[in-house]
Amino acid sequence: CNDADIRYLRVSGICTDFPHTDFFLLFLLSMYDIMEEEVYEFHAVELTNQLCFCPQAEFNNRPDSLFFNDGIRRIDFILVYEDEDKKEFDKRHMSQRRKASLMSMGLELEATKSVLDDKLMFVKVHMPWDVLCTYAEVLHIKVPIQPNDLSSRTSPWHFLSCITKHFYPSEKLISKEAEYFTAPFEKAQEEFFYIKDKDLFFTPAMRSRMAYYILSRAPYELRGNIKKFGINKLLDGGVYKAAYPLHDCRFNVKSKDDACPNERFLLYNEWAHPKSFYKMQPLDLIRKYYGEKIGIYFAWLGFYTYMLALAAVVGLGCFIYGYKTQETSTWSKEVCDPEIGGQIVMCPQCDKFCNYWRLNSTCEASKKLCIFDNFGTLVFAVFMSIWVTLFLEFWKRYQARLEYEWDTVEFLEQEEPLRPEYEAKCIYERKNPITGMKEKVPYTACGRCVRVSIGIGTVLFWILLIVASIVAVMVYRLAVFFAFSTSLRNQDLKTLEPLKEYVTPQMATTVTASLINFVIIMILNILYERVAIWITNFELPRTKTDYENSLTLKMFLFQFVNYYSSCFYIAFAKGKSVGYPGNPVYLGRYRNEECDPGGCLFELTTQLSIIMGGKAIWNNIQEVLLPWVKNLILRHCKRGDAESTIPRWEQDYRLQPFSNLGLFYEYLEMVIQFGFVTLFVASFPLAPALALVNNLFEIRVDAWKILTQFRRIVPEKAQDIGAWQPILQGITILAMIMAFTSDMIPRLVYYWSFSVYPYGGHANHTMQGYINSSLSIFNTSDFTEDSMPQESYNITTCRYKDWPINWRNAEGHPRQYEYNVYYWHVIAAKMAFIIVVEHIVYFTKFILSYVIPDVPYSVKEQIKREKYLTQKILHETNLKLVTKHMKLDDDETTKNTEDDVVDKNLSHLN
């Protein structure tokens, strides 16, 4: 073989320096394997299409370059693999053959060796103009057809621009994007699109997206009926080490290359840097650099944080009100009063080994409870129900504007390509109900039903596993509460006080149980994540959107039960079925636990604080600290020359790959937080304020993370936040229920009914006497032998907390220990509150939904204008061409007819 032969026969992506004889033997071996049906059933006809020329180039010491060595062709993607001459011979030719067809899709290639590692080879991928045009049409990529000629409406707040401009990125650095009317690209009508420069017409994000589309569908092997294709499979098999688009420069150093736009550097300084924490996000530049999917996430996160400001102010006001009134609260003062709370002897909270205790031992806990459970609690809960409606309605409007500006208005499922994993297993035929054509599918109707059934069954099994873990924690709470009650209150009655004023049996039990529950939550999350991914892969969703929506629903259902079940238990179940001292309710051999005399709301606050705080710390360790440590170790282990001598593609290779589910976890974290903020506001009014502070850091930390610690993410198109939208709507429906857990309704019932005639002896409405009225009376002689305390202290009666108020008749009553009129008053009040407030809130929701349109009027105008221009410029042009061809055909037919008539007449004359 001469040099020309070797260059022709050289398999794409290999670019080795083999001696001629070795290379030719390698080629013959590849030919033998191709023809050997038992090994691989490759089509011999396709061999010539799998061979292409991949020149090798040395690094030209231009670390900022984003082009091939010729300085003209832009690098659209990078593939990394180990040099084949470093491997064993049998593994080498197999790996080379697999790479061949990936490079036969019209892409131009250039390979170079690693500067730091002789084993690594980097293949630069460039998409020529014709290939770009072809796949832009395949992917329905929208490109400009004409500048936007509609005048933008002046904002009513424009007079504040002199102040607000300081909260936006510098326009000198990040200029405003020009507005265009766009249409899906059509290669046959290229001249009608607004093309100034072919090299800049398709953005780097578009080019990378198209390159990844090609690489993810390039076939490389066929075994029987099984076709293998796609870069993802080769990455999983270790044939390629990495595949990624390039960052355009270093994040903290401006590129010296004049052709570099330095968008990463601008994003870091104006978005991810801590000094820019107060600035609005440059969403257009984020979308341009990372694609619509990343852009819509940060747009949603920023909007959610912006809306949290109002909720945080109201919640903070509610908290301050409770803090200021904790010392003046009548019922709290009665608990702490030695003449009232100090004289009330409470019944033991466990059997035999627990003793009597005085009510004033819970003085400090009662004061702290006033901070979170006061008259402002119900008002704040109603406010949050309206707030979530405003949040969703205004987000729909904002999202509609982004959909238009980012060209995703008509992003339909038909436009989204199939997943390669789905295509690879399409072996059955069916008739498409939309097109009426036959198409390949990976399963029959029965097979799909089986797959879905297995998925549903697995999810239900894991949800039941969570319920079992919650029951186990409940048993732990009962056992530990028994131990704490024995040790903390086993003292002389005269000096009966907790060891410390804040350490009550309920508080000690709640804190330890919450910590254990948090650990269980984290462990189950790790296990279920793998199960959910396996189930979703088994179901074989058709498109990536279908895949993400299916996985999102499974993960959220699990996370919802995992995170919220313990909170719902404290809010709705704990203390609601405890019976009374003479006839307690048991869970197994343990007596069901009770709430503090002030209620369970403070325990719920403690549970929320531990779960939310622990979750935030764990997420930051997992998402930020671990990638940073990995990159630090990698840089330390692979020390080479100075950073400036390392090419751009190798600098990016040393960063961490971004997980395919990375954005999923970001959404999940925020949606779980959204649930805590909206569902449990009645117990924790500070939740919106803490969420606001967390999100201000979250935005910058996420931005810093993806810009500095991860390789550039492959751009993806997305119309909205996907399955998270209906999930948020479902959470808003439940946002009112936690208001009913507050003990303020029984207090209001006492204030308006029981404190005055005929039930009370006060002349005016007051909270005085509430504590005495809310505690039921029990005769100690009615204790059973199993529940009677070992030490009686000559006490004849004791008091106990019933739910929701003193609802049982006292000893000696004809219907002793049965429900009394207090119980029915409170139940009626709660039902009235549910019915009245629910109708008011949902009527308000309906009015707001009707008044606030989902799509702004100005956006509707621009959408109509764009459709009109598309129809006029592209479709009418096609119509004119068709009409012109028809006219030419008619003229030709007429001419032929006239010629036939003349010939016929001449023939007749002859």
Residue at token pair 């005016």: 764
Within 103-207, strands assigned E span 108-113, 120-126, 142-147, 180-184
47 SS3 class: coil
- Distance separating alpha carbons of residues 97 and 46, to the nearest angstrom: 12
Choose the most confident range, by mean pLDDT, from 536-545, 665-674, 881-890. 665-674
Structure tokens at 334: 């009665």
pLDDT at residue 313 in the model: 93
User: Which whole-number Å values give the CA distances from 446 to 449, 452, 453, 598, in the listed order?
Assistant: 5, 10, 11, 56
Burial of 88 (0-12, 13-18, 19+ CB in 10 A): exposed
- Residue at 360 is within a domain: no
At 458, the amino acid letter reads T
pLDDT score recorded for residue 494: 42
171, exposed or middle or buried, with CB in 10 Å at 0-12, 13-18, 19+? exposed
Dihedral of the alpha carbons of 267, 271, 273, 278, in degrees to the nearest 10: 160
Gyration radius (Cα) of the chain, Å: 36
What region, left, alpha or beta, does residue 8 occupy, with left being phi > 0 and alpha being psi -120 to 50 degrees?
alpha
In 3D space, the residue among 766, 590, 628, 742 whose CA is nearest the CA of residue 680 turns out to be 742
The band of 222, judged by pLDDT with boundaries at 50, 70 and 90, is low
Measured CA to CA, the distance from residue 445 to residue 426 in angstroms comes to 13
Distance CA 357, CA 138 (A): 77
Six-digit token pair at 874? 């592209």
Helix or strand holding residue 591 (H, E): strand 590-591
Domain residue limits at 81? 56-141+185-246
Provide the pLDDT confidence category of residue 19 given band limits of 50, 70 and 90. Answer: very low
894 to each of 889, 899, 905, how far by Cα in Å? 9, 9, 17
Residue 80 in any domain: the answer is: yes
Establish whether the linkage from the previous residue to 758 is cis, with ω within 30° of 0. Answer: yes
Q: Provide mean pLDDT across the span 423-433.
A: 74
What phi and psi, each to the nearest 5 degrees, are found at residue 799? -110, 155
Q: What's the pLDDT score for residue 296?
A: 93
Report the Cα 710 to chain-centroid distance in Å: 18
% the chain with pLDDT above 70? 75
DSSP string, 381-427: HHHHHHHHHHHHHHHHHHHHHHHHHTT-TT--GGGSPBPHHHHHT--
Type of residue found at 407: D
CA atoms within 13 A on the CB side of 81: 27
Whether the CB-CB separation of 555 and 463 falls below 8 Å is answered with: no
| Peptide linkage before 505 cis (omega within 30 of 0) | no
pTM reported for the whole predicted model: 0.79
- Could you tell me if residue 642 is inside a domain? no
Other C-beta atoms closer than 10 Å to the C-beta of 333 total 20
- pLDDT, one tens digit per residue, over 122-171 is 989 999 998 899 888 888 888 888 887 765 655 555 555 666 667 778 77
Q: Identify the bridge partners of residue 438 per DSSP, sorted by sequence position.
A: 431
Cα dihedral sign for 212, 218, 220, 225? positive
Joined together, the tokens standing for residue 226 give 């099984």
Q: Does 213 fall in a domain?
A: yes
706 neighbors 700 (Cβ within 8 angstroms): no
pLDDT at position 287 over 70: yes
In this predicted structure, the answer to whether residue 104 has a pLDDT above a threshold of 70 is no
Nearest to 801 by CA among 643, 588, 633, 574: 574
Q: What is the pLDDT of residues 663-719, one digit of tens each?
A: 888 898 889 889 888 887 777 788 899 899 989 988 999 999 999 989 999 998 888
- The answer to whether residue 75 sits within a structural domain is yes
Compute the average pLDDT of residues 845-857: 76
Farthest-apart Cα atoms in the chain, separation: 145
Mean pLDDT value across residues 161-186:
78
d(CA 464, CA 462): 5
Euclidean distance between CA atoms 260 and 258, whole angstroms: 6
Identify the residue with better confidence: 239 or 313.
313
- Residue 797 has a pLDDT of 85
Rounded Cα gap, residues 201 and 117, in angstroms: 36
Average pLDDT taken over every residue of the chain: 75
Mean pLDDT of 862-881: 69
Tokens of 97: 């053959």
Q: Facing residues of 183 across strands?
A: 143
Map residue 324 onto helix, strand or coil.
Answer: helix
Tell me: pLDDT of 458 over 60.
yes
Q: State mean pLDDT over 82-106.
A: 55
Tens digit of each residue's pLDDT (9 = 90 or more) over 47-87: 333 334 467 888 888 888 888 888 888 999 999 988 755 55
Q: What secondary structure letter does DSSP report for 623?
A: I
**Total count of residues recorded for the chain:** 910
Contacts by residues 816-819 (CB-CB < 8 Å, ≥ 24 positions apart): 817/580, 817/582, 817/583, 817/778
Which is higher by pLDDT, 649 or 572?
Answer: 649
| Residue that is written with structure tokens 């410029």 in the block | 873
Instruction: DSSP letter for 152, please.
Output: P
Q: How far is CA 362 from CA 496, 573, 750, in A?
A: 11, 22, 21
Nearest to 283 by CA among 299, 263, 264, 297: 299
DSSP 819: B
| Mean pLDDT to the nearest integer, 186-211 | 87
Contact between residue 51 and residue 11 where contact means Cβ atoms under 8 Å apart: yes
* Burial environment of residue 617 by CB neighbours within 10 A (0 to 12, 13 to 18, 19 or more): exposed
Q: Give a yes or no: residue 107 inside a domain.
A: yes
Cβ atoms of residues 6 and 20 within 8 Å: yes
Indicate the Cα dihedral angle 610, 613, 614, 619, nearest 10°. Answer: 160
Residues 6+ apart with CB under 8 A from 233: 220, 420
Q: Any idea what DSSP says for residue 45?
A: G
Tokens of 512: 């330890």
Single-letter amino acid code for the residue at 335: V
Any domain includes 370: no
- Looking at the chain, the whole-number percentage of residues with pLDDT higher than 90 is 9
Domain count, the chain: 1
Q: What is the DSSP string of 224-268?
A: TTEEEE-HHHHHHTTSSSEEEPPPSS-SSS--S-TT---HHHHHI
pLDDT value of residue 736: 60
- Mean pLDDT (whole number) for 107-134: 88
Q: Whole-angstrom Cα distance, residue 88 to residue 161?
A: 67
Query: How far, in Å, CA of 830 to CA of 295, rounded?
Result: 45
Other CB atoms within 10 Å distance of the CB of residue 25: 14
Residue 753 vs residues 746, 758, 762, 777, 791: alpha-carbon distances, Å:
10, 8, 11, 21, 39
Q: Range with the lowest mean pLDDT among 104-118, 200-214, 586-600?
A: 586-600
pLDDT of residue 90: 47
Q: Is the pLDDT of residue 32 over 90?
A: no
Q: What is the pLDDT, as a whole number, of residue 12?
A: 37
Alpha helices in 596-686 (DSSP H): 601-620, 626-637, 648-653, 662-679
pLDDT of 220: 67
In a domain, 656, yes or no: no
Q: Rounded CA gap, 473 and 518, in Å? A: 11
Contact 115, 59 (CB under 8 A): yes
Task: Read off the DSSP letter of residue 800.
Answer: E
Residues whose CB falls within 8 Å of the CB of residue 461, separated by 6 or more in sequence, listed in order: none
Q: How high is the pLDDT of residue 300?
A: 94
Cβ 623 vs Cβ 705: under 8 Å: yes
Q: Is 141 helix (H, G, I), strand (E, B) or coil?
A: coil
